Amino acid sequence: MAACFILSIALGLTFFTQVSGSGVFELKVQEFLNENRLLANGNSCKPDCRTFFRVCLKHYQSVVLPGDCIFGSVVTPVLGSNSFQVIDADSSSSPIRMSFDFRWPGSFSLIIESWYAAFADLPVDTTNPDLLISFFAIQRNLAVGEEWSQAEQTGKETKLRYSYRVICNEKYYGESCSKKCTPRNDLFGHYICDTDGQLSCLPGWKGEYCEEPICLEGCSKSNGNCSSPGECVCRAGWQGQFCDECVRHPGCKHGTCQLSWQCNCEEGWGGLFCDQDLNYCTHHRPCLNGATCMNTGQGSYTCTCRPGYSGVNCELEVSECDSSPCRNGGSCTDLENGYKCTCPQGFEGSHCEHSSLTCADSPCFNHGICSEKDHGRSYICSCPRGFTGLNCEKKEDKCTSNPCANGGQCVDLGHSRNCRCRPGFTGQRCEININECASKPCSNGGTCIDNINDYKCRCAPGYSGRNCEIKTRDECASNTCSNGGTCQSSTYGSSFYCKCPIGFTGSRCEFYTVSVPDSRDQTFPWVAISLAVGLVALLMLLCIIVVVLRHIRRQRDLEEQDSETMNNLSNFQKDNLIPASQLKNTNKKVDLEVDCEVEKSNYKHKNYHLDYNLVKDFKDDMSQEDKCHNCDKLCPEEKIPLRMHSEKPECRISTICSPRDSMYQSVFVIAEERNECVIATEV
């Protein structure tokens, strides 16, 4: 019972949640007439009928009865005395409002009671029936709307004219005020609500909840997007107002592109960045002094100099000073028949090889330390860090040796140097080429090609895009499989195959086959089932073995019991009865009736009739004492094989009780020395 009650509450809450709404029932009292100043009980108001109303709104009833105001109730202040009218311009003309938070059912019952406020300074009382002036009740069907419905009711002494309507609260719409719509302009939507409560997108937005911006008209759908209306934000590799212009590979100088990150060289240019002039000699004429220029490809050239000139561009005239014969900073002057060294201050000699200064002259600059040599005739300066030269007069340039590889720019920082690498290279000397393919950016089987400062994906057939993320073709869209087969696109999207159900084969599963599918292709757990079946079979075999062993053991016990009983019987016959040679059958019919009663089970053996001619006369004279009254004393446990009885002095009857209940009794006729007859019966 409790479970049913909880379930009912849960269903009710679910239904209320689904159909919840919000609205207001409004009522305006326009005119009330009580000309005789009478109450409902016939008494008159003293001095005047100061009138207020109690309004009760409830569910539709064919016969409106007092009771709980399910939809709501309102008690008004005193609106007038006796007969009065409520003018719209009056401050008291505000409608009586009863809010509800459920789905408007479309029908209602309304009770309007007018009451007499006997005291001006006390709260109004709606519990005293002697103060009731009139009682009006209606039931109507009413749709949600702005228009007022007019009503007029007449009682015995009073008349009431009023109007009413049902309207939805803000954010609620529909015929039953059950559709809620809240305008919003934020991350989750940009819309307003129309008169039916439907979403109406703000300008520049679209989508189910107006959350998708409308991009600039003409913006490429594949190369651009937007996060606000009227935008066109280009994806990587595209540019222009409508994102329809490709971006060339970084560093591309004399090249164009059709797709993003391309560098297709113009005529006469080559190399990865199209920066190698394939006809450098014609375009630049680098060789001087009448030298001959030859293009060697990829922007390089060779100058063949005329006699007397040298250098890369044959810009140097060959002279004796080319060997730098002047030492210690001396300058060489080429003469017509030799050269001349102009020595700096403090040096002398034809090659400026002798110093004329000593440490006493403080020849070392920039805080260099002077040390004498050649017994004081010369000196040597130990320069501080950052300076060089014979007298430490030169500031050391750490970029002189051009330590930066791969076109890196060397920056001298004073105490150190730094290499500013070109895009695509890194390392202290720009010696490491950055491998953009290390992150495996190409998807869907694409092959990554590492460039100097970027990478390029060679896409498999059926895919495109910078990272091969765009599938250009779906083979399964135009190909179907027969007999319930499932179409699967290949890895590269250029072909398809059908995954056929069991019993079908072929490229489209159109052929029926009875061959047993390979167990490796089956998802059914045959190994587990085989192990389970084997285990069940083993358990059944063990049960059968146990049952057989128990049966064999029981049979062996019975055989041992029978054998013991027969041995006892044989011994008794041998020792206590007579030899077999003395048994005699006269072939005369005798009926012998033996009745054994078993007291514990109240069971009686049937009468067994034996035909022997010799014992015919003993049937009528057998007494009650001769019967086996206590066969339980002759049970197999006590092993008593015989019971003796004799009707006459000369005859004895011997009865042998079987160890089990038997349908037959063995009767033996025993003859003694005096020709007396003895009957032995085996029970």
In tens, the pLDDT along 171-182 reads 898 888 988 898
pLDDT score recorded for residue 587:
39
How far is the C-alpha of 534 from the C-alpha of 217, rounded, in Å?
A: 73
Q: Is the pLDDT at 72 greater than 50, yes or no?
A: yes
Confidence category of residue 639, pLDDT binned at 50, 70, 90: very low
pLDDT-derived band at 66 (thresholds 50, 70, 90) equals confident
Q: Tell whether the torsion through CA atoms of 565, 567, 570 and 573 is positive or negative.
A: negative
Listed in order, strand segments (DSSP E) in 472-581 are 486-489, 496-499, 504-505, 511-512
Mean pLDDT of 39-48: 88
Kind and range of the H or E element at 410?
strand 409-412
Amino acid making up residue 289: N
Spatial distance between the Cα atoms of 176 and 18, rounded to a whole number of angstroms? 13
Greater model confidence, 580 or 434: 434
Cα separation, 94 vs 77, whole angstroms:
12
Helix H or strand E segment including 355: strand 354-355
* Amino acid symbol at 339: Y
Report percent pLDDT > 70 for the chain: 73
pLDDT for the residue 336: 60
Question: CA dist 354 to 349, 376, 379, 391, 655, Å?
Answer: 6, 13, 11, 14, 163
Query: Residues 553-576: what's their mean pLDDT?
Result: 65
- Taking all residues of the chain, what is their mean pLDDT, rounded to a whole number? 75
Highest mean pLDDT among 373-382, 456-465, 627-636: 456-465
Contact criterion met (CB below 8 Å) for 28 and 164: yes
Q: Determine the 3-state secondary structure of 282 from DSSP.
A: helix
pLDDT value at 528 more than 80: yes
Q: 669 pLDDT exceeds 60?
A: no
d(CA 204, CA 194): 17
Res. 372 pLDDT band, cuts 50 70 90: confident
Structure tokens at 252: 């591309």
Using pLDDT thresholds of 50, 70 and 90, give the confidence band for residue 301: confident
Residue 581: CB atoms within 10 A of its CB come to 6
Strand extents, DSSP E, 92-158: 96-100, 107-116, 132-141, 149-154
* Burial classification of residue 512, based on how many CB atoms lie within 10 Å of its CB (0-12 exposed, 13-18 middle, 19 or more buried): exposed
The mean per-residue pLDDT over the stretch 133-155 comes to 92
**Where residue 541 falls among pLDDT bands split at 50, 70, 90?**
very high
* End-to-end Cα separation, the chain, in angstroms: 70
User: Which tens digit of pLDDT belongs to each residue from 76-96?
Assistant: 998 888 889 887 645 456 889
Check whether 199 has a pLDDT greater than 60. yes
Averaged pLDDT, 612-637: 39
pLDDT at 674 over 50: no
The band of 425, judged by pLDDT with boundaries at 50, 70 and 90, is confident
- Report the pLDDT averaged over residues 634-654: 39
**Residue of higher predicted confidence among 548 and 333:** 548
* Number of neighbours of residue 643 by Cβ within 10 angstroms: 23
Tell me the whole-structure pTM to 2 decimals.
0.35
**Residue 683's closest CA among 620, 594, 555?**
594
Q: What is the pLDDT of residue 198?
A: 86
CB 28 within 8 A of CB 163: yes
Least confident of 233-237, 402-406, 493-497: 493-497
408 pLDDT exceeds 90? Answer: no
Question: Burial code of 458-483, b = ≥16 C-beta within 10 A, e = fewer?
Answer: ebbebbbbbbbeeeeeebbeeeebeb
Is pLDDT above 90 for 111? yes
DSSP E strands: which ranges in 247-353?
255-256, 264-265, 269-270, 276-277, 292-297, 300-304, 309-310, 316-317, 331-335, 338-342, 347-348
Highest mean pLDDT among 92-101, 136-145, 287-296, 569-578: 136-145
Does position 27 have pLDDT exceeding 90, yes or no? yes
Instruction: Kindly tell me if the per-residue pLDDT of 630 is higher than 50.
Output: no
The answer to whether the beta carbons of residues 108 and 58 sit under 8 Å apart is yes
Higher pLDDT, 655 or 156: 156
- The confidence band for 75, taking pLDDT boundaries of 50, 70 and 90, is very high
Rounded to 10 degrees, what is the CA torsion of 468, 472, 474, 475?
Answer: -100
- Of 58, 32, 56, whose CA–CA distance to 116 is shortest? 32
Of the pLDDT bands very low, low, confident and very high (cuts 50, 70, 90), residue 197 is: confident
One-letter identity of residue 431: E
Measured CA to CA, the distance from residue 324 to residue 329 in angstroms comes to: 10
pLDDT for the residue 544 = 95
Phi, psi dihedrals of residue 631, rounded to the nearest 5°:
-65, -20
242-283 pLDDT tens trace: 999 999 999 898 899 989 999 998 877 888 888 887 888 877
pLDDT for 386 beyond 80:
no
Across the chain, how many H-helices and E-strands are there?
3, 55
pLDDT band, residue 495 (cuts 50/70/90)? low
In the block, residue with structure tokens 């009926």: 591
Which two three-digit tokens encode residue 209?
A: 């909840």
pLDDT of residue 438: 84
**Residue 329: pLDDT band with limits 50, 70, 90:** confident
Q: What is the arithmetic mean of pLDDT over 303-330? A: 81
Predicted local confidence at residue 491, as pLDDT: 52
Confidence of residue 494 (pLDDT cuts 50, 70, 90): low
Task: Give the residue-averaged pLDDT of 601-615.
Answer: 36
